[in-house]
Structure 1
Amino acid sequence: MKHRCLKSRNRKRTLYLHIGIPKTASTWLQSNVFSKLHHLHYLDCSKNTMFRDIEDLSAKQRSLGNIFSRSIRIWEKFGDTIFEDLIGDQQAWLKNDQDLLISDERIGRQGSRSTLLADHFREMKQKAGDWGFERIHLICMIRRQDHWLASHYAQMSDRNPQAGQEDFKKLIRNITSPYRFRYGFGMLLEYNELYDQLSDAYGDSNLLMLPYEELKQTPAAFLESLLGRLGTPSETIEHILDETSGTKKNVRSEQDVWQLRNKRKRVAGIPLPKWIFTGGEKTIKLMPEYTQQVFECYSAGNRELALKTGLNLEEHGYFGPGSSSKNP
């Protein structure tokens, strides 16, 4: 049953989806920025109670990330149930005049299957209209691929008994190989393809793609761009800028060296306390030849993305070492 007639406001109501892929400061944004926004309704990594298989439970039942890994038919059959699980009673929500912001980096993990992700967004848009949303805006964070891989590897290192420089080198080789991970997990870092799919689903004007590097290098300009897209009142923007000025974000690298996490021992499959760990290498280094390998795969797409979006990706190193936009 449709409820569009219950909407009684003059402005268009918007659903904002922050789908920044992992390792792009999502946790920092959720804690220090999005949680301070009171002009809209904010959901931080919302959980569902609908699905209970092993994958859902291991992902802490995060709503949209788990839903987007399923068939798009789910929106036709359970679309209202999904929205009710997210924001409650439909008629009560329709009487509410707030926009909605959902931030969940698990959504972005589906970027390795960007066609399926875009199809989900199309289906979600159809159902969102019944819940009072006339527009959906996507906010997608990206990060330079070689740095992303090093940061990802370091984060996961406590689960990897082989973690170290040689194993990291192997990951780079596998990610860049068309016969291994390049067209599987490696597609998560194909930002140009992701942009094409998402903009085709919702249109260029409803997609904001921001480099993680801008947050690190020019945080004020980054936050003003992000908060402006969210329709944030100017006084709130000023307050957040004041509060976050000088804040140290979660950075574990220096001079292309990343700290590995302590490897946890297990007995009968049960992890021992964190202070009990194995020895081994403590860091990995992103060697120049690794960076070269990575950008042999991704630089062409990064150049196309820069042309489409106007983002200065060359300044942030997305074109690879020793290259420029004028000399591909």
Structure 2
Amino acid sequence: MPDRIVHIGFPKTATTFLQWEVFPYLKEVNYVDYNACRDIFPQIVFTDRLDHDLKVLSNKMDKYEKKGATNFYSFELLAGSPFSPKGMNRSLIAESLKDVGFSRVIITVRDQAKAIDSYYRQYIVQGGTLRFRKWLDINDKRGWLQKHFSLSYLKYDLLVAHYQSLFGKENVLVVDSENFRKEKDQTIDDVCGFLGASGLDTPSIRSTTVNNSLTNLSTSILRVCNYFTYNGIRPSQFFHDSISTRNFWLLLKLILDPYFFRIFSSAKSYLKKYKLEKELKAYYAESNDELEKICSIRLK
């Protein structure tokens, strides 16, 4: 069976940067590009084990692989979707990856407070209309059918421990994306060593700086616009499907934010705005302590 390794980074953990600037340049590694991964993995993510044939998926993967090489895949939704219950079968995803022939796993994580702020902004960009407090539901007042985010999704130790039990502790590498930004060279060396690559086939990589998030003002404007626009969360056509959330988002991102709103607004953390940082830190404290025990990653 081919040597198959997969990266299942949580969303907003520099996955796009890794997929464009690092993974394609790994020496002695056949990196299967993102478009191929979109062809392969959604069935594992969005359907039950009863609804997909692992032999069919394995045969599909054969088309993109090189015999005798280390074949490396990256697809962040394999960590489950943070926005809806349909992508939350994370333990079954892990079992499917094991059964389809993967032998090693890289998992990227991030400080939960920063991740949650990014997830909320992404929820609005996808068409969400809830205010931050209702979306976060830190006091667990909303029923499961009304939830758009589960705090337990970011208890990293649970998923890491599950992968370690399936693949073996030595076959699971956990990378803190915040630390990656600070110690880029060391982190890349760790990834190369785990994959058996001798380095990167490129002289240098660009900064890990990602695109600026919308300011809080633009995020609020887009949230209100989402009541009337066409999008994935609200696929109704109040006016016309050409009046989409994406079009409003582009207007805000490319014109209004950089030239007007950033003069008097910023992307201030919603957790800081509503003074929820201490409460959230306490919620994840036990999980982060356990994560440090099982993989020596310490999230502040």
Name the TM tier (shorter chain): 0.7 to 0.9
Deviation of 1:251 after TM superposition, in Å, equals 5.1
Give the 3 Å change call, closer, same or farther, for CA 41–18 of structure 1 in structure 2.
same
What secondary structure is seen at the aligned counterpart in 2 of 1:23?
Answer: coil
What secondary structure is seen at the aligned counterpart in 2 of 1:243?
Answer: coil
Equivalent in 259, 267, 289 of residue 303 of structure 1: 289
Query: What is the CA–CA distance in structure 2 between the aligned matches of 1:260 and 1:302, rounded to whole Å?
Result: 33
Give the 3 Å change call, closer, same or farther, for CA 117–212 of structure 1 in structure 2.
same
What TM-score does the superposition give when structure 2 sets the normalisation length?
0.74
Equivalent residues of 2:31, 2:71 under 8 A apart:
yes
What secondary structure is seen at the aligned counterpart in 2 of 1:303?
Answer: helix
Equivalent in 160, 165, 175 of residue 210 of structure 1: 175
Query: What is the CA–CA distance in structure 2 between the aligned matches of 1:161 and 1:140, rounded to whole Å?
Result: 27
What secondary structure is seen at the aligned counterpart in 2 of 1:177?
Answer: coil
Question: 1:84-131 deviations in whole A, cap 9, x for unaligned?
Answer: 222329xxx68x21111011112122584332223323422xxx2xxx
The number of equivalent residue pairs is 265
Deviation of 1:39 after TM superposition, in Å, equals 1.5
> Which ranges in structure 2 are unaligned for 5 or more consecutive residues?
82-86, 230-238
In the other structure, the counterpart of 1:113 is 89
Query: What is the CA–CA distance in structure 2 between the aligned matches of 1:276 and 1:260, rounded to whole Å?
Result: 10
Aligned pairs for 1:189-204 (under 5 A) are 189-204=154-169
Query: What is the CA–CA distance in structure 1 between the aligned matches of 2:111 and 2:92, rounded to whole Å?
Result: 23
In the other structure, the counterpart of 1:270 is 242
Query: What is the CA–CA distance in structure 1 between the aligned matches of 2:127 and 2:45, rounded to whole Å?
Result: 27
Deviation of 1:223 after TM superposition, in Å, equals 1.1
Larger-Rg structure: 1
What TM-score does the superposition give when structure 1 sets the normalisation length?
0.69
Give the 3 Å change call, closer, same or farther, for CA 260–232 of structure 1 in structure 2.
farther
Letter aligned with residue 147 of structure 1: K
Equivalent residues of 1:121, 1:201 under 8 A apart:
no
Deviation of 1:195 after TM superposition, in Å, equals 1.1
What secondary structure is seen at the aligned counterpart in 1 of 2:72?
Answer: strand
Aligned pairs for 1:57-206 (under 5 A) are 62-73=39-50, 78-88=53-63, 96-109=67-80, 112-124=88-100, 128=101, 136-160=103-127, 162=129, 167-172=131-136, 174-175=137-138, 177=140, 180=143, 185-206=150-171
Question: 1:8-61 deviations in whole A, cap 9, x for unaligned?
Answer: xxxxx521100001111111001001111252221123448xxxxxxxxxxxx5
Letter aligned with residue 137 of structure 1: R
What secondary structure is seen at the aligned counterpart in 2 of 1:199?
Answer: helix
Equivalent residues of 1:21, 1:108 under 8 A apart:
yes
Equivalent residues of 1:40, 1:100 under 8 A apart:
yes
Q: How much is the aligned-residue C-alpha RMSD, in angstroms?
A: 3.4
What is the aligned-residue identity percentage?
17
In the other structure, the counterpart of 2:234 is none
